[in-house]
């Protein structure tokens, strides 16, 4: 596993779908993960040290865990399958260690609130990570103050939402493959991307 930090929340320029960037400072690798609009705003809020007027779900979850004496030891983005990332939250309670399946966005939002370390499995970083110099070419839509802007979620079905996230991640992977001159991989990703875009049009 490699320890990472939350570098930023951005918006994929074409699909307009948000993603979070996890950076391994030691290697310079950055992992982009497509996330939902609500989760993007919750992560951005914590990165910018903005406090909500009332507790939001992740703040409530932190309070519940603290009252129950449960410690979040770490979160790990541990798998990638069919362009979907998976994560585990490791908890310590009454001397026992528990591992809870989670979406990466939920795990990251919670980890930021309890100051738990965030890790990425090496095989996931190798498959989906990009070097920082390549990542710089992926432009973030920014506000005048320079902060990444997360737009409001459009009216969409759950299936459309999932397709948009997968399409956003695939576009980032396609860029990486082309820049690395891995044209066979790029062709495979392009075909999968085309299939998902056609499926989205039919939703």
CA–CA dist 3, 184 (Å, integer): 31
pLDDT at 148: 45
pLDDT at 96: 95
Q: Is 17 helix (H, G, I), strand (E, B) or coil?
A: coil
Q: Could you list the pLDDT tens digit for every one of the 203 residues in the chain?
A: 999 999 989 887 766 778 899 999 999 899 999 888 889 889 998 988 888 888 889 999 999 999 999 999 999 999 998 878 999 999 999 999 999 999 999 999 999 999 999 999 999 999 888 876 544 444 444 333 334 445 555 545 667 767 777 777 777 777 766 666 676 777 787 888 788 777 767 65
Quote the pTM value.
0.69
The burial class, CB within 10 Å (0-12 / 13-18 / 19+), for 21 is buried
pLDDT at 164: 72
CA 55 to chain centre: 22
pLDDT at 203: 52
pLDDT at 65: 96
Q: 2-152: which CATH topology?
A: Bifunctional nuclease domain (3.10.690)
pLDDT at 6: 95
Contact 68, 58 (CB under 8 A): no
Q: What is the DSSP letter of 50?
A: P
């Amino acid at each position: 596993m490699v320890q990472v930090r939350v570098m930023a929340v951005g918006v994929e320029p074409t699909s307009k779908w948000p993603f979070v960037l996890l950076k391994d400072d030691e290697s310079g690798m950055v992992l982009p993960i497509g996330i939902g609009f609500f989760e993007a705003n919750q992560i951005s809020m914590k990165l910018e040290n903005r406090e909500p007027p009332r507790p939001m779900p992740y703040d409530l979850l932190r309070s519940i865990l603290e009252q129950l004496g449960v410690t979040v030891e770490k979160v790990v983005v541990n798998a990638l399958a069919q362009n979907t990332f998976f994560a585990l939250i490791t908890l310590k309670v009454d001397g026992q260690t528990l591992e809870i399946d989670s979406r990466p966005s939920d795990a990251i939002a919670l980890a930021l609130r309890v100051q738990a370390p965030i890790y990425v499995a090496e095989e996931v970083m190798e498959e989906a990570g990009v070097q920082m110099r390549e990542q710089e070419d992926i432009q973030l839509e920014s506000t005048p103050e320079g902060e990444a802007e997360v737009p409001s979620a459009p009216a969409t079905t759950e299936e459309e939402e999932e397709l948009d996230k997968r399409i956003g991640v695939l576009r980032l992977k396609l860029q990486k493959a082309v820049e690395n001159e891995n044209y066979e991989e790029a062709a495979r990703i392009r075909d999968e991307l085309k299939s998902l875009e056609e499926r989205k049009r039919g939703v």
